[in-house]
Amino acid sequence: VAASQKPMPEGGQPGQPGQLGLPLPASEAATQGVANAIEAQRSTQQIADLVSDVRHLQLDLEYHQQKLDQLLQEKQGNMQELKTAKSELVDAKKRLEEQDRLLKHRQVDLDHLQEELRTTSLLSSAPQAAAAEGAATLDALRSEAAAKDSALVVSHYELHKEKLMRDRLEQKNIKLMERMQKLMMVVETMRRD
């Protein structure tokens, strides 16, 4: 008779607590309460982890934005340096061309003086008065030739200095261009990320 008094649950299993309104035993209710508390704690922990991840991502974003701004400023500075170097290079080229032109003029003058010296030496067989005058002219020509020779040496030295400066500026220009290209690659990489 006791077996016939137990109600049958929906699943067809007789006597399972918690189904069909039967009360759960105290130990099962406590176990389910603990499981619910654990599930709530997991949800809270997941939310806290997600909030922490969002904060980390915000910090990374701020860092990369600052880095991008810094690289853009650096790029602008490099562009300005490049522009300055280019203008200095153009100026150096102009000065070099001017020095070349002056050097050619001095060479023509020197060739002319040497020709005059040869002509004067041929005329030295003239009378004594002409010889004295020729000696004075020869001395004047020699001093002029010496002055022009020294000016030619100075011009060669200045030309050499200009060439060295031009080479340095060209090297600096190349380095700045390479650096600018590297910065552009970094900026493009950061934009893609």
DSSP string, 75-110: HHHHHHHHHHHHHHHHHHHHHHHHHHHHHHHHHHHH
List, for residues 94-118, the tens digit of each pLDDT value.
888 888 888 888 888 888 888 887 7
pLDDT at position 128 is: 58
More confident of the two residues 147 and 10: 147
Select, from the ranges 9-18, 54-63, 146-155, the one with the highest average predicted confidence (pLDDT): 54-63
In angstroms, the CA 158 to CA 103 distance is 10
- pLDDT (mean) for 20-31: 65
pLDDT at position 1 is: 38
pLDDT at position 152 is: 82
- Lowest-confidence range among 110-114, 125-129, 142-146? 125-129
Length of the chain: 193
pLDDT at position 18 is: 47
Confidence class for position 158, pLDDT limits 50, 70, 90: confident
The share of the chain scoring above pLDDT 90, in percent, equals 14
- pLDDT (mean) for 160-178: 89
pLDDT at position 26 is: 65
pLDDT at position 73 is: 92
pLDDT at position 3 is: 42
Q: Are 19 and 11 in contact (CB under 8 A)?
A: yes
Q: ∠ at Cα 106 (100, 107), nearest 5°?
A: 90
pLDDT at position 51 is: 92
